[in-house]
Amino acid sequence: MTALQHVKMGTYYVVHMPEPDDFAFWRERARQLVQCDVPPDRVAWVEPGGNGSLFSHGDKRLPVPDDATRMIRASKRFLSIAKNVAHHSDPERFSLLYAMLWRLQSNPRLMEDKADSQVRRLEDMDKSVRRDAHKMHAFVRFRMVEDEAGNQQYVAWFEPDHHIVRREAGFFVRRFANMHWSILTPRGCIHWDGETLRESGPAQKSDAPQGDPAEDLWRKYYASIFNPARLKIGAMLKEMPRKYWKNMPEAALIPELVAGAQKRESEMVDAGALEYEDRPETLAAIDKAIHACRKCPIGLLDNQAVMGEGADDAPLMIVGEQPGDQEDQAGKPFVGPAGQVLNAALEVAGIERKQTYVTNAVKHFKYVQRGKRRLHQSPTAKEIDVCRWWHEAERAIVKPKVVLALGASAARAMLGKTVSISKARGEPMMLDDGSELWVTAHPSYLLRLSGDAKAEQERLFAADLAAVKERLAELVE
């Protein structure tokens, strides 16, 4: 009987696949069938273990083509997709591939027609297999076991959607060429001993080791690298669907991480990121607000906030460190011993204090109680930074042309970094708002010195003030 007669008689053929992913076998049989002009609806493709009884009337002996050299058309794109689709778990995959191969004979460019529903279906299956393979590369988790001889064996349990285990062996061989490992799956297992790859039949989850001490480290890493301020559960689920979770040690943490995220975020905010109101726009509003400010520990001491004083359009703003004992009692800046030194030096330099605006980098007096005395304490960098908010509000209103910072704390408040007075003095620095910053020593420093050192520092202080006066004269013109 010729092939043509077979078809005319309505013979039905059954092809039993030896392996669920044997593309080469399918290709040989499919070629033979197309050469014999057997249409897709006359062939059934049966997977190993598949239900063959439905097709018991089918002929398992395939027809022999009249011309075995007849060219079969299959585009490159079809072949590359078909190789992947052969690994899909859909029992219809081989029939679909055959149907497409059949259609390609009359329309060789069919694969380019992306709007064809059969082409789309194959493309989707191809994508699904490639995605499954990619997820296998990503989500296989080895557990290490040591035998008595101390040899390390890495074993993983994985549940792929498709018949991809054999297909992906190469990836793991290339990556872990010098390890001994096994990947166990319900669709068959692969084993590598550093030299050869061996296959074995399906396994169960209980065949794999149940834990690995390194998983504690990994879980800790997973929990720590997660930023609770940016919860995006949908994005996570899209790439790591729940079906994979059961075999990933870190996934057990997800529910508690999600539940704790809101709490952790608010703790993060409470711990530091201070909530500020809108920036006050008048000096009076700043004065009121600083009295209520408790954003740093200094505000919690028994003291009062000391507001700057002077002309609200002064071309020169003088910034000290913080109020001292007397300033705190008076509620005014630079009224104590350091203030007297400053006043005297300003007079010598020819600067009218009344025409300046005098304030402090930190608004409250920081001290430690020693008996009846309150001893001055330097503010920390953090405290200066917190108070910068108020000082910048003052500067935005007064808009001075020149800012004179007295001492390192004041300079830090302006610059955001700590500078050395001896290096920074004598030359102006530009600030963000276009004003010039001049830096000099704090007058209280002069009070602590004696002898030659005192004379030298007083001379430098006076020189700095003179330079500021000169510069002001240039700028005001």
Partner 1 sequence: MAALETIQKLEILADAAKYDASCASSGTAKRSSTGGKGVGSTEGMGICHAYAPDGRCISLLKILLTNHCIFDCHYCINRKSSNVRRAKFTPQEVADLTLTFYRRNYIEGLFLSSGIIKSSNHTMELLVETARILREEHDFRGYIHLKTIPEADPELAHQAGLHADRVSINVELPTDSGLTRLAPDKNSRQIEGAMGGMKMAIRQSKDERKRFKHAPRFAPGGQSTQMIVGADAATDSDIVGKASRLYDSFRLRRVYYSAFSPIPDASAVLPLKRPPLMREHRLYQSDWLMRFYGFAPAEVMQATGEDGNLPLDIDPKLAWALKFRGRFPVDVNRAGREDLLRVPGLGTRAVGQILASRRHRSLRLDDVAKLTVSVAKVRPFICTVDWRPTLLTDRADLRSLLAPKQEQLELFAA
Count of residues that interact with partner 1, criterion CB under 8 A? 82
Q: Which of 306, 305, 301, 456 is nearest to 375 (CA)?
A: 301
Site mask for partner 1 (CB under 8 A), range 143-182, x = bound:
xx---------x-x--------------x-xxxxxxx---
Is 234 an interacting residue with respect to partner 1 (CB under 8 A)?
Answer: yes
**Sequence-ordered alpha helix ranges (H) in 399-430:** 407-415, 421-424
Stretch that binds partner 1, among 31-39, 259-267, 352-360, 464-472 (CB under 8 A): 259-267
Is 221 an interacting residue with respect to partner 1 (CB under 8 A)?
Answer: yes
25 vs 218 by CB, closer to partner 1: 218
Residues with Cβ < 8 Å from 393, sequence gap 6 or more? 279, 280, 286
Q: Strands 373-376, 436-440: parallel, antiparallel or unpaired by DSSP?
A: unpaired
Is 9 an interacting residue with respect to partner 1 (CB under 8 A)?
Answer: no
In whole angstroms, the minimum distance from the beta carbon of 366 to partner 1 comes to: 16
Of 57, 61, 76, 232, the one binding partner 1 by CB under 8 A: 232
Sign of CA dihedral 430, 431, 436, 439: negative
Site mask for partner 1 (CB under 8 A), range 388-427, x = bound:
xx--x----------------------xxxx---------
- Alpha carbons within 13 A on the beta-carbon side of 141: 19
Is 385 an interacting residue with respect to partner 1 (CB under 8 A)?
Answer: yes
173 vs 311 by CB, closer to partner 1: 173
CA distance 15 to 150: 49
Is 127 an interacting residue with respect to partner 1 (CB under 8 A)?
Answer: no
Is 432 an interacting residue with respect to partner 1 (CB under 8 A)?
Answer: yes
Site mask for partner 1 (CB under 8 A), range 92-111, x = bound:
-----------------x--
Is 112 an interacting residue with respect to partner 1 (CB under 8 A)?
Answer: yes
CA distance 291 to 299: 8
Is 250 an interacting residue with respect to partner 1 (CB under 8 A)?
Answer: yes
Is 189 an interacting residue with respect to partner 1 (CB under 8 A)?
Answer: no
In whole angstroms, the minimum distance from the beta carbon of 219 to partner 1 comes to: 10
Is 7 an interacting residue with respect to partner 1 (CB under 8 A)?
Answer: no
Q: Which of 197, 23, 216 is nearest to 183 (CA)?
A: 197
Is 137 an interacting residue with respect to partner 1 (CB under 8 A)?
Answer: yes
Site residues for partner 1, 323-362, by CB under 8 A, read none
CA distance 116 to 397: 69
Q: Which of 323, 325, 321, 326 is nearest to 307 (CA)?
A: 323
CA distance 414 to 308: 16
Q: How far apart are the first and last CA of the chain?
A: 115
Where on the phi/psi map is residue 10: left (φ > 0), alpha (ψ -120 to 50), or beta? Answer: left
In whole angstroms, the minimum distance from the beta carbon of 84 to partner 1 comes to: 16
DSSP letters, 430-463, are E-TTS-EEEEE--HHHHHH--HHHHHHHHHHHHH
In whole angstroms, the minimum distance from the beta carbon of 168 to partner 1 comes to: 12
Is 56 an interacting residue with respect to partner 1 (CB under 8 A)?
Answer: no
In whole angstroms, the minimum distance from the beta carbon of 406 to partner 1 comes to: 20
Is 192 an interacting residue with respect to partner 1 (CB under 8 A)?
Answer: no
Is 90 an interacting residue with respect to partner 1 (CB under 8 A)?
Answer: no
Residue type, 407: G
In whole angstroms, the minimum distance from the beta carbon of 363 to partner 1 comes to: 12
CA distance 250 to 142: 13
In whole angstroms, the minimum distance from the beta carbon of 228 to partner 1 comes to: 8
Of 7, 99, 145, 231, the one binding partner 1 by CB under 8 A: 231
7 vs 415 by CB, closer to partner 1: 415
Is 295 an interacting residue with respect to partner 1 (CB under 8 A)?
Answer: yes
DSSP letters, 131-186, are HHHHHHHHH--EEEEE-TT--EEEEEE---SSS-HHHHHHHHHHHTTTSEEEEE-T
